[in-house]
Amino acid sequence: MAENQYTEDNIRSLDWKEHIRLRPGMYIGKLGDGASADDGIYILVKEVVDNCIDEFVMGNGKKVDIKVKDGIVSVRDYGRGIPLGKVIDCVSQINTGGKYDSKAFKKSVGLNGVGTKAVNALASSFRVYSVREGEKKEASFVRGELVEDKKIEKTDEQNGTFVEFIPDDQIFKKHAFKSTYLDKMMWNYCYLNRGLAIYFNGTKYQSKDGLKDLLENNMDGDPLYPIIHIEADDIEVAFTHGRTYGEDYYSFVNGQHTTQGGTHQSAFRESVAKVIRDFYNKNYEASDIRQSIVAAISVKVVEPVFESQTKTKLGSQEIEPNGKSMRAFVNDFLKEALDNYLHRNPDVAELIERKIKQSERERKELSGIRKIARDRAKKANLHNKKLRDCRLHLTDLKEDRRENTTLFITEGDSASGSITKSRDVNTQAVFSLRGKPLNCYGMTKKVVYENEEFNLIQAALDIEEDMDNLRYNKIVIATDADVDGMHIRMLLLTFFLQFFPDLIKRNHVYVLQTPLFRVRNKKKTIYCYSEQERRDAIAELGKNPEITRFKGLGEISPDEFKNFIGPDIRLEPVLLSKDASIDSILSYYMGKNTPERQNFIIDNLRVEKDIALNDEELNDLDSGNIEIAS
């Protein structure tokens, strides 16, 4: 066997854009297709907008214009503008930028000089111009390569910077922006930067009361008491208790939404329990204090340390030059500000204690049932009746692989068998339902422990005690695209919304999209997820291709299933709109059969004439060109 040769010829030096394009995950996290809020195309938008926010924070420019249309992103701020002689360098030279000068950008989101360069390298088209004092400098790039370097010219435009780019479809395959994610991004910028006006696709976004507005606009239903909103230098906190289960947090560092929390969020969770215990002089359980809490915390840190380039989790232990810890900083703030608030608002303090005592009673009532349920779940796992687990869990994986950890929830032996045989055993697990789950709308959490299916799903996810223990990053509902499959999907979503709404709010829940048709000839096979894709495939393959209509997941062979749950997996995220109320959604769809729901069903009923095959398709069926999978 020939030895591997290792010589000077094996050593390569990549330029900045080659390295980013070869290893994009190092710079923007995962790529994705736009189905998740932290997919790469949103990180590209964020990297550009972050620069505008940094200008605003430094007191330059109160307005940002942002457009995302037909896959083209454009961002225009009205700050100072990049110094004209450095426009090209700032978007194409790694470790070049104004943020290294701490006098110019004291508490910036990004300090490593990479963000906009990564956008440039990962864009099929990138255009930038800067305006300063009546002069304009513009340059254009293709995949990071400079293609146009315009001379400085006179202009009447306002000062500021403009960036326009198109994500490269060679890197981001079959990607699409979701307006829900972009909408949340714009609102978060405004909540954290009161006075800033963002015009996104022509709509104005602006916040008056910061994190208080955030909670008011995102809470499900009315709070149990008025939102507590307190702030000081470099810290702002808003919180209340809601009417749903679990804990719900929105945390930010220097304007960056830390979706995975970090040291500041952990410090808040710990400190709020401690301050409330001290105020009432009672040793309440922390879980009872925080049950149903909805909170937002924002801190500003000099040169923050994040655990990844995408900045979704804060790692900074110390926040000041004197070495004061994040825990001490947050605790000292709450000890004074929250304690003062509770003394000045005894009516709110009374409502908080009433809520704590209610949570305490519920916990004690469930304690015996929980023990029996845990024992039952352990025995079920030992016999592997429901869960085909994966080899690795979130806690075992490095940051760059966490997004691949998935639990498929499916129904029936045939469907679960196909997924089990074709899955990646390292990162993909399968949970098999037996029949339809219970409609749990309006029930208490007691049903989670008494119902075998729900108890075992909860045990598989490991979310009974703390949502941060979640064992899988993605929870994928994989049911047939028929009436029964849709019903099972609704029952599962009711379970999550009723008892674990954070799973959906944190974008962990998805629906698996599987093809409706397979169109093939002797040379090529195309899987189609819609009628339009089927028609396009027929046109591409030409005369008389073989067309198969898949009726259920169990009818797709394991060999074919590998195509649908691998790198090209199609997932539809389960999203809640800003104005959606979980209680109103569940009561409408899963409550008693109201006249409103009856009218909705009648108005949206698809009768046989609506789904009948057209004449051409009937001829194909008669001639044997269309096969109904069975």
If one counts every other C-beta atom within 10 angstroms of the C-beta of residue 291, the result is 20
The per-residue pLDDT for 561 is 84
The per-residue pLDDT for 407 is 93
CA distance 356 to 157: 57
The per-residue pLDDT for 316 is 67
Inform me whether the pLDDT recorded for 613 exceeds 60. Answer: no
CATH number of 384-514+556-591: 3.40.50.670
pLDDT digits 0-9 by tens, 140-169: 999 999 999 999 999 999 999 999 999 999
Classify each residue of 329-361 as buried b or exposed e, where b means 16 or more C-beta atoms within 10 Å of its C-beta.
Answer: bbbebbeebbeebbeeeeebbebbbebbeebbe
Question: Per-residue pLDDT averaged across 32-36, rounded?
Answer: 85
Inform me whether the pLDDT recorded for 517 exceeds 80. Answer: yes
Question: Per-residue pLDDT averaged across 123-148, rounded?
Answer: 94
CA distance 198 to 207: 10
Inform me whether the pLDDT recorded for 85 exceeds 70. Answer: yes
Task: Tokens 């949340």: give the residue.
Answer: 184
What amino acid occupies position 512? Answer: L
- Give residue 351's pLDDT band: very low, low, confident or very high (50, 70, 90): very high
pLDDT digits 0-9 by tens, 191-220: 999 999 999 999 999 999 999 999 998 887
**Sheet of 546-549: strands edge to edge?**
525-528, 517-520, 546-549, 626-628
Question: Per-residue pLDDT averaged across 603-625, rounded?
Answer: 48
Termini Cα distance of the chain: 49
Encoding tokens for residue 266? 């952990």
Long-range (24+ apart) CB contacts under 8 A made by 557-564 are 557/418, 558/417, 558/418, 558/421, 558/422, 559/422, 560/518, 561/418, 561/419, 561/421, 561/422, 562/422, 563/527, 564/512, 564/514, 564/515, 564/527
Compare 506 and 621 and report the one with higher pLDDT: 506
The per-residue pLDDT for 362 is 86
Cα dist from 577 to 179, 180, 228, whole Å:
10, 7, 24
Question: Per-residue pLDDT averaged across 469-474, rounded?
Answer: 87
pLDDT digits 0-9 by tens, 385-400: 678 888 775 555 444 4
What amino acid occupies position 120? Answer: N
The per-residue pLDDT for 441 is 85
Q: By percentage, how much of the chain surpasses pLDDT 90? A: 37
pLDDT digits 0-9 by tens, 483-501: 888 888 889 998 998 888 8
Inform me whether the pLDDT recorded for 611 exceeds 60. Answer: no
| Contacts of 93 by beta carbon, 8 Å cutoff, 6+ apart | 16, 117
CATH number of 211-362: 3.30.230.10
Q: Identify the weakest region by mean pLDDT among 53-57, 99-103, 187-191.
A: 99-103
What amino acid occupies position 302? Answer: V
Rounded to the nearest integer, the mean pLDDT of the chain is 82
For 544, left (φ over 0), alpha (ψ -120 to 50), or beta? left
Compare 224 and 448 and report the one with higher pLDDT: 224
Which of 528, 529, 546, 549 lies closest to 537, judged by CA? 528
CA distance 302 to 310: 18
The per-residue pLDDT for 311 is 65
Inform me whether the pLDDT recorded for 622 exceeds 50. Answer: no
Q: Which helix (H) or strand (E) holds 52?
A: helix 40-57
Q: How far is CA 626 from the centre of its chain?
A: 39
Of 61-75, 405-419, 453-467, 602-616, which one has max mean pLDDT?
61-75
The per-residue pLDDT for 608 is 42
Beta bridge partners of 238: 229, 296
Compare 139 and 398 and report the one with higher pLDDT: 139
| Contacts of 443 by beta carbon, 8 Å cutoff, 6+ apart | 498
What's phi and psi for 622, nearest 5 deg? -65, -35
Q: Where are the domains of the chain?
A: 16-205, 211-362, 384-514+556-591
Cα dist from 343 to 223, 225, 230, 283, whole Å:
20, 15, 14, 19
Beta bridge partners of 197: 63
Inform me whether the pLDDT recorded for 624 exceeds 50. Answer: no
Rg of the chain, C-alpha, whole Å: 27
The per-residue pLDDT for 13 is 58
The per-residue pLDDT for 12 is 56
Compare 17 and 295 and report the one with higher pLDDT: 295
Inform me whether the pLDDT recorded for 361 exceeds 80. Answer: yes
What's phi and psi for 231, nearest 5 deg? -155, 160
What amino acid occupies position 609? Answer: K
Inform me whether the pLDDT recorded for 415 exceeds 90. Answer: no
Inform me whether the pLDDT recorded for 266 exceeds 50. Answer: yes
pTM of the prediction? 0.77
What amino acid occupies position 285? Answer: E
Inform me whether the pLDDT recorded for 178 exceeds 60. Answer: yes
What single DSSP character describes residue 306? B
Encoding tokens for residue 625? 């060109």
Which of 516, 531, 527, 517 lies closest to 614, judged by CA? 531
The per-residue pLDDT for 310 is 58
The per-residue pLDDT for 413 is 74
Question: Per-residue pLDDT averaged across 82-89, rounded?
Answer: 91
Which of 61, 46, 17 lies closest to 163, judged by CA? 46
- Give residue 109's pLDDT band: very low, low, confident or very high (50, 70, 90): low
Q: What CATH architecture applies to the domain 16-205?
A: 2-Layer Sandwich (3.30)
Which of 571, 562, 392 lies closest to 478, judged by CA? 571
Compare 395 and 267 and report the one with higher pLDDT: 267
pLDDT digits 0-9 by tens, 418-462: 888 888 888 899 998 888 888 888 888 888 888 888 888 888 888
Inform me whether the pLDDT recorded for 96 exceeds 90. Answer: no
